[in-house]
Structure 1
Amino acid sequence: MDTVVKLLDNPADAITDALRGLAAIHPELSVNLEQHVVSRADDRRPGKVGLVSGGGSGHEPLHAGFVGLGMLDAAACGEVFTSPVPDQVLAATRAAADGAGVVHVVKNYTGDVMNFRMAAELADDEDVAVETVLVDDDVAVSGSTYTAGRRGTGGTLFVEKILGAAAEQGMGLADVAALGRDVVAASRSFGVAVSPCTTPGSDKPGFDLAPGEMELGIGIHGEPGRRRVRVPDGELAREIARTSVAAIADDMPVDDQDLILLVNGMGGTPLLELQVLAGDVVSELTGRGGRIARALVGNYVTSLEMAGSMVSVCRATPQLLDLWDAPVRTPALRWRA
């Protein structure tokens, strides 16, 4: 087996070193290297509802790359593909709290759900009110026996951007949380892998994928998909677009809808290829009567160096579009600010 080469100094220190690099180039962030918590260092509007998320590392720029004006106030960074522990989440919650309560945005994985719940209970002991928004947008999971329901994937970006804007504009705790649940209900995602990824310190990929095969319906940690199929001889992007949009549309109607679209790379897919895929996805959605109101293309919710894609859509109301368009200034996402 070929040696896996990664641009690291010491695999055991990968998270700390990555956060040190983030701090070095983004002085507007406060980075706690001991607890692996990233928070805003710039001035926040007094009395603003705090917004916190987090999860295992390896999905960059999610979540630390989305800390800043108009998105998260703090993020807890676990080890690679491992939930942050309750003390980390509590530290992030403290950093985000400013008297108006804190919303936790939690992807639906057993460890994340449990540890964020424990942190919320600890925050309540400190008189910090916490509401939780559970993200479960992955349509690939249905009646699964190996997950705790649908997984949280690309739709997490929609939730963090829209709730960040709502909190910035002064919306109260209960209303921000209710809005978040509406965004989750309006969001669906479907992922495809054409090559696996390898975690730092390991000498083999997290799962095997034979040459000429692709996995349909993968999660962001390389979890099993719906099925494994042969890569077609031609028009691969078109086939992935067709399969992804069909899976989403079978679960949530997209016809006669304004849509926010995310064509997301899993970490190892070049932008050129993602743009080809994006064109095919737009054709599939508009062919079904959907209207592309806003779109992002790039690597936003990744799985280390996995090659593949995740298509996410959110059915957008005028309110959601206004909040999506609101100013944002983070390391990975910024406009109008």
Structure 2
Amino acid sequence: MFNTNDKKTESINSLDIVHDNAICYSGYREGQNPREGIYPSHAQVKEDLLILSQNWKYLRLYDCGPHAEIVLNVIEAEALDFKVMLGVDMAAEMTNPNCPWGANFSAETLIENRYANCRQVEKLIELSKRYTDIVFSVSVGNEASVDWTDHMVSVDSLVNYVIRIKSSISQPVTFCENYVPWTDKLAPLVAVLDFISIHTYPAWEYRTLDDALEYTKQNYHSVAHHYPDKPVVITEAGWTTQSNGRGIESWNASQELQANYYEQLLAWANEEMILTFVFEAFDEPWKGSPHPQEPEKHWGLFTVDRKPKLVMENLYAVKPAVIELAETC
């Protein structure tokens, strides 16, 4: 188990957010898929959260749908010590010809999507008010402005959503995005956010373990130095354990590489007091292509059947000194 005695307790800059272990959570198992409306049960979510409660304080959720509501309900019902970043699952409000897998939508679909996004924002506000002691922050979307996204939303629209949210709730508001857009197109959005949330994935950019952490640091500092007066957190950083070669070379995906990267990542993030949500808790078979080694399916620190991967053994194993003490008691 992670040694919580070494955690620092200072807040992150001006925000009342205490530094602690953070992880992205989406609990979809074999045969479950949010696009098909097949969600984890209350009992399954409870099982997951009891696993995660041993090592993590912060959870990041991606939407305000049935899965998120179940998660919040379980945390409240079981009196679990979690704080949640609640998100909005933004649908495309613009066609994006730069999306490699296609993002060309009819005018009617884009109008429907805007209405759906407004409903998502209102649901975010509702849940944030209902679970005010659990939801510590909210995100107005996820990767909805980067060049390759299939759910592009204009910066002006994001700004308006943030203004709507901030007029209704007290929790700080952010937006979760790849590090690249922050230093140019997202400047107007930064002006209305309480903090910035970036994603960094060295493996997706053909980096090896040799320079992965240095690349992560460069990604982070490219944004943090650009906005010295705005707190910056990392809401996704990870390493997949399998790949069929689509986007990530198969030799650059393994449990050993994941464990090594996480060890380096967390040592740096904890030393620098950078709140970092590791991606992600459990493997999710519904993601990406049907290929079983599709890299999107294998970012979990646990397999889909909830077995710990090597990273958990390396980072969260009980220390020998603790074992010895237990044996003498």
Identify the TM-score tier after normalising by the shorter chain. 0.3 to 0.5
Q: Pick the structure with more strand per residue.
A: 1
The TM-score with structure 1 as length reference comes to: 0.34
